[in-house]
Amino acid sequence: MTVLLRLIAWLVLAASAFAAGMDGLGFLESGEYAPIPLGQVWASIHRDSLLLVEPALVRHVHPALWEDLVFPLLQAPAAAVGAVFGLGLFLVARKSTPRRRRRPDWR
């Protein structure tokens, strides 16, 4: 389980680094910093699923979840959200790893 979590964390961090690189290239081309929002990245990957998230959350879970959590996350820079999520996965994988007991060195 921890190996899978770490693999996903590495993939998320790689995607975050790619998004940061795209933000940097955009800055070099235009001269102004305009980070790519997470919602734009999601829409470019699969627009239909993004359009279904709001009605599903509002109808079946709670409207405040969309307004207070999901919508602001979709407006946040993709590189920052990915970095925080990837590092969080690493922390979860680290805490779920069993600790080995150290044996004294009796040589």
Q: How many domains does the chain have?
A: 2
Other beta carbons within 10 Å of 103: 6
- Tell me if 105 is assigned to some domain: no
Predicted local confidence at residue 107, as pLDDT: 64
Mark whether 69 and 56 lie in a shared domain.
yes
> What is this structure's pTM?
0.80
Domain span at 7: 1-36+78-97
Distance from C-alpha of 56 to C-alpha of 61, rounded to nearest angstrom: 7
Mean pLDDT (whole number) for 62-77? 95
Q: Give dist(CA 23, CA 72) in Å, integer.
A: 19
The pLDDT tens digits for 24-44 are 999 999 999 999 999 999 999
Residue 104 lies in a domain: no
